[in-house]
Amino acid sequence: MKQMNQTGVTVWFTGLSCAGKTTVSEAVAAELRSLGYTVECLDGSAVRQDIGKKLGFSKADRDENIRRIGFLAHLLTRNGIIVLVSVISPYNAAREEVRKRIGNFIEVYVNAPLELCEKRDNKGLYKLARSGEIKEFSGIDLPYEPPLNPEVECKTNLEKITESKDKVISKMEKLGYLQRFSD
Protein backbone atom coordinates (compact mmCIF):
# COMPACT_ATOMS: atom_id res chain seq x y z
CA MET A 1 0.00 0.00 0.00
CA LYS A 2 1.30 3.38 -0.99
CA GLN A 3 0.35 6.45 0.98
CA MET A 4 1.07 9.54 -1.03
CA ASN A 5 0.35 13.17 -0.87
CA GLN A 6 2.71 14.70 -3.34
CA THR A 7 2.97 16.54 -6.61
CA GLY A 8 4.67 14.81 -9.49
CA VAL A 9 7.80 16.42 -10.87
CA THR A 10 10.76 15.39 -12.99
CA VAL A 11 14.20 16.43 -11.81
CA TRP A 12 16.49 16.05 -14.80
CA PHE A 13 20.22 15.67 -14.10
CA THR A 14 22.31 16.49 -17.16
CA GLY A 15 26.07 16.59 -17.49
CA LEU A 16 29.13 14.81 -18.81
CA SER A 17 29.79 11.16 -18.10
CA CYS A 18 31.27 10.90 -14.56
CA ALA A 19 30.18 14.44 -13.63
CA GLY A 20 28.26 13.00 -10.68
CA LYS A 21 24.69 12.89 -11.98
CA THR A 22 23.76 9.52 -10.48
CA THR A 23 25.65 10.24 -7.25
CA VAL A 24 23.78 13.48 -6.59
CA SER A 25 20.44 12.07 -7.70
CA GLU A 26 20.83 9.05 -5.42
CA ALA A 27 21.53 11.36 -2.47
CA VAL A 28 18.40 13.35 -3.33
CA ALA A 29 16.36 10.13 -3.68
CA ALA A 30 17.55 8.85 -0.30
CA GLU A 31 16.58 12.06 1.47
CA LEU A 32 13.17 12.27 -0.21
CA ARG A 33 12.40 8.63 0.53
CA SER A 34 13.36 9.10 4.19
CA LEU A 35 10.72 11.85 4.25
CA GLY A 36 8.11 9.47 2.82
CA TYR A 37 8.02 10.61 -0.79
CA THR A 38 7.60 8.13 -3.62
CA VAL A 39 10.60 8.51 -5.91
CA GLU A 40 11.59 6.72 -9.11
CA CYS A 41 15.16 6.95 -10.39
CA LEU A 42 15.71 6.53 -14.13
CA ASP A 43 19.28 6.03 -15.23
CA GLY A 44 19.91 6.75 -18.89
CA SER A 45 22.08 3.76 -19.65
CA ALA A 46 19.86 1.32 -17.74
CA VAL A 47 16.71 2.56 -19.46
CA ARG A 48 18.41 2.14 -22.84
CA GLN A 49 18.38 -1.63 -22.22
CA ASP A 50 14.66 -1.55 -21.71
CA ILE A 51 13.35 0.80 -24.37
CA GLY A 52 16.24 1.69 -26.65
CA LYS A 53 17.82 -1.55 -27.80
CA LYS A 54 17.97 -0.55 -31.43
CA LEU A 55 19.27 2.96 -30.79
CA GLY A 56 22.90 4.00 -31.25
CA PHE A 57 24.75 7.13 -30.22
CA SER A 58 24.29 9.38 -33.26
CA LYS A 59 22.59 12.72 -32.61
CA ALA A 60 19.29 11.45 -34.02
CA ASP A 61 19.36 8.27 -31.94
CA ARG A 62 20.37 10.14 -28.79
CA ASP A 63 17.53 12.58 -29.32
CA GLU A 64 15.11 9.67 -29.75
CA ASN A 65 16.48 8.07 -26.58
CA ILE A 66 15.94 11.31 -24.65
CA ARG A 67 12.41 11.57 -26.06
CA ARG A 68 11.65 8.06 -24.81
CA ILE A 69 13.08 8.67 -21.35
CA GLY A 70 11.07 11.90 -21.34
CA PHE A 71 7.93 9.92 -22.13
CA LEU A 72 8.58 7.58 -19.19
CA ALA A 73 9.24 10.52 -16.89
CA HIS A 74 6.08 12.20 -18.16
CA LEU A 75 3.92 9.15 -17.43
CA LEU A 76 5.28 8.86 -13.90
CA THR A 77 5.14 12.61 -13.22
CA ARG A 78 1.52 12.96 -14.25
CA ASN A 79 0.71 10.17 -11.81
CA GLY A 80 2.19 12.06 -8.88
CA ILE A 81 5.62 10.43 -8.76
CA ILE A 82 8.87 12.34 -8.18
CA VAL A 83 11.16 11.19 -10.98
CA LEU A 84 14.92 11.66 -10.91
CA VAL A 85 16.45 11.21 -14.36
CA SER A 86 20.22 10.91 -14.79
CA VAL A 87 21.32 10.99 -18.39
CA ILE A 88 24.06 12.89 -20.24
CA SER A 89 21.46 14.43 -22.61
CA PRO A 90 24.01 16.64 -24.37
CA TYR A 91 21.67 18.66 -26.58
CA ASN A 92 19.70 21.71 -25.48
CA ALA A 93 16.89 21.26 -27.98
CA ALA A 94 16.13 17.70 -26.83
CA ARG A 95 16.10 18.75 -23.18
CA GLU A 96 13.81 21.68 -23.95
CA GLU A 97 11.41 19.40 -25.79
CA VAL A 98 11.24 17.11 -22.77
CA ARG A 99 10.76 20.07 -20.42
CA LYS A 100 7.80 21.28 -22.47
CA ARG A 101 6.19 17.87 -22.61
CA ILE A 102 6.50 17.19 -18.89
CA GLY A 103 5.67 20.62 -17.50
CA ASN A 104 6.67 20.02 -13.89
CA PHE A 105 10.37 20.01 -14.65
CA ILE A 106 13.57 20.98 -12.87
CA GLU A 107 16.82 20.91 -14.81
CA VAL A 108 19.95 20.25 -12.78
CA TYR A 109 23.24 20.91 -14.51
CA VAL A 110 25.79 18.62 -12.92
CA ASN A 111 28.89 20.48 -13.86
CA ALA A 112 32.44 19.24 -13.48
CA PRO A 113 35.40 20.07 -15.74
CA LEU A 114 36.06 17.51 -18.43
CA GLU A 115 39.56 16.84 -17.03
CA LEU A 116 38.08 15.85 -13.68
CA CYS A 117 35.40 13.63 -15.27
CA GLU A 118 38.08 12.00 -17.33
CA LYS A 119 40.23 11.45 -14.26
CA ARG A 120 37.32 9.84 -12.38
CA ASP A 121 36.37 7.62 -15.38
CA ASN A 122 34.48 5.13 -13.18
CA LYS A 123 33.57 2.85 -16.05
CA GLY A 124 36.72 3.34 -18.13
CA LEU A 125 34.69 4.90 -20.93
CA TYR A 126 36.86 8.00 -21.42
CA LYS A 127 39.86 5.75 -21.92
CA LEU A 128 37.99 3.84 -24.62
CA ALA A 129 36.79 7.10 -26.19
CA ARG A 130 40.32 8.56 -26.28
CA SER A 131 41.69 5.41 -27.86
CA GLY A 132 38.89 5.48 -30.43
CA GLU A 133 37.36 2.20 -29.30
CA ILE A 134 34.17 4.12 -28.45
CA LYS A 135 32.92 6.66 -30.94
CA GLU A 136 30.46 9.52 -30.45
CA PHE A 137 31.28 10.21 -26.82
CA SER A 138 30.01 13.50 -25.41
CA GLY A 139 32.88 15.81 -24.48
CA ILE A 140 35.40 13.91 -26.61
CA ASP A 141 34.28 13.63 -30.23
CA LEU A 142 30.73 14.95 -29.75
CA PRO A 143 29.77 18.23 -28.13
CA TYR A 144 28.08 18.67 -24.77
CA GLU A 145 25.83 21.74 -24.73
CA PRO A 146 25.59 23.12 -21.18
CA PRO A 147 22.07 24.13 -20.13
CA LEU A 148 21.27 27.80 -20.75
CA ASN A 149 18.98 28.33 -17.76
CA PRO A 150 19.12 25.33 -15.44
CA GLU A 151 17.11 25.65 -12.25
CA VAL A 152 20.11 24.28 -10.33
CA GLU A 153 23.80 24.04 -11.05
CA CYS A 154 25.90 21.63 -9.00
CA LYS A 155 29.65 22.12 -9.30
CA THR A 156 30.77 18.73 -8.21
CA ASN A 157 34.43 19.68 -8.35
CA LEU A 158 33.88 22.35 -5.67
CA GLU A 159 30.92 21.07 -3.64
CA LYS A 160 30.45 18.10 -1.36
CA ILE A 161 27.73 15.65 -2.39
CA THR A 162 25.55 16.83 0.49
CA GLU A 163 25.87 20.44 -0.68
CA SER A 164 24.77 19.52 -4.20
CA LYS A 165 21.94 17.43 -2.78
CA ASP A 166 20.78 20.28 -0.54
CA LYS A 167 20.72 22.69 -3.51
CA VAL A 168 18.34 20.38 -5.37
CA ILE A 169 16.08 19.73 -2.39
CA SER A 170 15.97 23.43 -1.60
CA LYS A 171 14.96 24.30 -5.17
CA MET A 172 12.24 21.63 -5.15
CA GLU A 173 10.94 23.14 -1.94
CA LYS A 174 11.00 26.70 -3.33
CA LEU A 175 9.13 25.61 -6.43
CA GLY A 176 6.39 24.08 -4.30
CA TYR A 177 7.04 20.39 -4.91
CA LEU A 178 7.77 19.49 -1.28
CA GLN A 179 4.83 21.00 0.51
CA ARG A 180 5.19 18.88 3.57
CA PHE A 181 8.48 20.57 4.41
CA SER A 182 6.68 23.77 5.28
CA ASP A 183 3.79 22.11 7.15
Q: What is the x/- site pattern for a second copy, positions 36-75, by CB under 8 A?
A: --x-x---------xx-xxx--------x--xx--xx--x
Binding mask 72-91 for a second copy (x = CB under 8 A): x--xx-xxxx----------
SS3 115: helix
| Residue with Cβ nearer a second copy (103 or 132) | 103
Cα 41 to Cα 84: distance, rounded to the nearest angstrom: 5
The answer to whether 34 is a known catalytic residue is: no
| 183 is a contact residue toward a second copy (CB under 8 A) | no
Establish if 5 lies at the interface with a second copy (CB under 8 A): yes
Q: Which positions ≥6 away from 64 have C-beta within 8 Å?
A: 52, 55
∠ CA(125), CA(109), CA(33), 5° rounding? 95
* Residues with Cβ within 8 Å of residue 21, at least 6 apart in sequence: 13, 14, 15, 86, 87, 88, 110
30 contacts a second copy (rule: CB under 8 A): no
The 10 Å Cβ neighbour count of residue 159 is: 18
Contacts with a second copy by CB under 8 A: the residue count is 27
Q: Active-site residues: which are they?
A: 89
Q: Which residues bind a second copy (CB under 8 A)?
A: 1-8, 38, 40, 50-51, 53-55, 64, 67-68, 71-72, 75-76, 78-81, 179
